[in-house]
Structure 1
């Protein structure tokens, strides 16, 4: 019996719109919810919160940040979404981790999909992050625990900067900025990996090197799929006229847009670099093959006159006077050796070897 793959979108076939089906990697770890409420004078943080214990949304007194780690328990995700008044189609998209980065505007909230990247064990790991921006709250949905938001939590705890003085739109900006800053860290690691592959190509390229090159190309495709749509999302947030985003926030969003543009340019540069490394690998393999063929050709060329001499004196004719000479055999060997040495000297002067 074949077990259905939970990551396949075909599991939703025939189901009505708004049906929550988790599409993505199944994880054994439990879904956890954390809640942070704050303003300039107040800060409260709770972990392992049950859906029924969530604060009323929106709560105009404080800014609320609800973070959900894990999407495989669709019932819990729906409970959080219903608490915030999310549309069923939004809840459906949240549990589908194959979403393209996008921005959807509803009457009382904005739905933002982005991808968080990390470089782990020599490979780029991608994770979908969904952000809900409401009048005084932000809800973030992640596939698993662990993210790039710890510096933001620390700033909230210590009251550093202006984050505690601003509202939910500023918190959304900081979350997006943290995601994009994580791209730079990934690109730094990726750049070092490309340099290592390039050095390996020049030193001793083999089949594993070729696999590493193609793996880098696949990861760059994943990076490009994450970065280019995010540019459109941030650009739409900056140019949009949603009442949930103050005009003063647009300059910060413009800064995030500039960062996404830099990341996109770096990704394109790395794509050209990897293509160049692949060409270098193929050229190096061709050069090495040419070196081998040159050596084999030299050896074959040297043996052509030797084979001729051996063939002449290997004929079974009776009247060959050299065959009866006592020094015929040593003379033939010396002659063949002389021819071989003379040809080697000639090849060396021609710089063929």
Structure 2
């Protein structure tokens, strides 16, 4: 199965804006969690009902709504109707294979990104799509499953003295982007350590099982590159945005986030090149090992050429062989063979061919 283009056959022939879930099938119920806060107050709404959302969002407070589960198009459409989400945006939210991107609408700014985790047992990158819709007094976060990298943000919101309690959805969106990018760096660091450890192993000894590991890391680094590179474009667009939903006070933080994304993309490129070097080093080492083997075999073949010649001469069936009548001909013959072999071995050793 194609790893980077999955489930897209479901959408073939459908009109743009058709609400079709693209992703792994799920049977669990979509859950909604909301928190509403401002500088003075905080209120949580766990397991909120869809029909309650309209009453939770209030003027003067910021409401962060998490939607866990994208497999029910009716739920996404209900949020789309409530918050005036464009049909194409709703379609993108339902498509878990959507490329990361940033878009602006009159009532909100939207971000679609991938959240990462690492399966350390199999050295594999696991992805989950996150769609963020940030408008006045509200922020919607659509996720495939429960469990994310935003718990530290939730803890900061609980603290009444933090800056995030006084800011609108643009700053909360920045904080979420920052958490996602920090998680990118953690994932890249894991693979970076694995790649550097592999390099150290290769300097000691080259084994055939190293090649599958190199190919695994190359595949996962390519996956990371595909996910992280568009985020640089997203952050750049957000920093240059003239959207009314972006406060100028947030822009310096976005510029700092841009530096983090650049750091992540540069690290990916470095490890990508390092893997290419390791692959080249592996093939060169294996080729040299084969050459060494062939050289040893060739040396021994060359040694046996004169020995075979002498054995062939004295193995013929001529009637008259004066040497055969001599008493010490047999030991002399063996002495001659061994002497020739030793002289040739010494010669090859001096030439450093052995």
Q: TM range, normalised to the smaller chain?
A: over 0.9
Name the structure 2 match of 1:110: 109
Structure 1, unmatched stretches of 5+, are 1-5
Q: How does 1:107-146 map to 2 (within 5 A)?
A: 107-121=106-120, 122-146=123-147
Secondary structure of the 1:91 match is helix
2:316 paired with 1:339: no
**Cα distance change on mapping 1:327 and 1:79 into 2, 3 Å:** farther
Q: CA deviation at 1:117?
A: 1.9
Sort the Cα spacing of 1:29 and 1:332 in 2 relative to 1 into closer, same or farther, 3 A: farther
Q: Which residue of 2 aligns with 1:95?
A: 94
Does the aligned pair in 2 maintain the 1:21–1:95 contact within 8 Å?
A: yes
Q: Who is 1:68 aligned against? A: 67
Aligned residues: 348
Q: For 1:1-353, list aligned pairs within 5 A.
A: 7-27=6-26, 29-56=28-55, 58-121=57-120, 122-159=123-160, 161-353=162-354
Shift in CA distance, 152/317, structure 1 to aligned 2, threshold 3 Å: same
In 2, Cα distance between the equivalents of 1:28 and 1:345? 76
CA positional deviation for 1:58: 5.0
Q: Provide closer, same or farther for how the CA distance between residues 330 and 50 of structure 1 changes in structure 2, counting only shifts above 3 A.
A: farther
Q: 1:206 to 1:22 in 2, by over 3 A?
A: farther
Task: Give the conservation status (yes or no) of the 8 Å contact 1:201–1:284.
Answer: no
State how far apart, in whole Å, the 2-side matches of 1:243 and 1:304 are: 88
Q: Structure 1 residues 66 and 349 mapped into 2: Cα distance closer, same or farther (>3 Å)?
A: same
Aligned partners of 2:19, 2:273: CA distance in 1, in Å?
Answer: 40
Distance 2:302 2:91 in 1: 73
Change (3 A) 1:287 1:195: same
Please give the per-residue CA displacement for 1:188-238, whole angstroms capped at 9, x wherever unaligned. Answer: 111101112212333343443212212222222222222221111111111
Counterparts of 1:108 and 1:324 in 2: how far apart (Å)?
113
Hey, what's the Cα distance between the residues in 1 that align with 2:88 and 2:221? 30
Q: Is the 8 A contact 1:36 1:46 kept in 2?
A: yes
Q: Which moved more, 1:89-98 or 1:53-62?
A: 53-62
Cα deviation, 1:122-164, whole Å, max 9, x if unaligned, reads 2222222111011111111122222211111111123352111
CA distance in 1, matches of 2:325, 2:67: 100
Structure 2 residue aligned with 1:3:
none
Q: TM-score, normalised by structure 1?
A: 0.92
CA 1:84/1:56 → structure 2, altered by over 3 Å: closer, same or farther? farther
Contact 2:107 2:136 in 1 (8 A): yes
Instruction: Show CA shifts across 1:44-65 (max 9, x none).
Output: 2233323223244752131111
SS in 2 for 1:112: strand
Greater mean deviation of Cα atoms: 289-298 or 170-179: 289-298
Quote how far apart the aligned CAs of 1:91 are. Answer: 0.9
Does structure 2 conserve the Cα–Cα contact (< 8 Å) formed by 1:113 and 1:129? yes
| Whole-angstrom CA distance in 1 between matches of 2:299 and 2:25 | 60
What is the RMSD computed on CA atoms of the aligned residues?
A: 1.9
Distance in 2 between the 1:254 and 1:47 partners?
34
What displacement does 1:174 show?
A: 0.2
Q: Are the equivalent residues in 1 in contact too, given 2:138–2:169 (CA < 8 A)?
A: yes
TM-score between both structures, scaled by the size of structure 2: 0.92
Q: Contact 1:20 / 1:91 at 8 angstroms: preserved in 2?
A: yes
SS in 2 for 1:117: strand
In 2, are the aligned partners of 1:57 and 1:84 still within 8 Å (CA)? no
State the SS of the aligned residue for 2:196: helix
Q: After alignment, is 149-158 or 57-66 more displaced?
A: 57-66
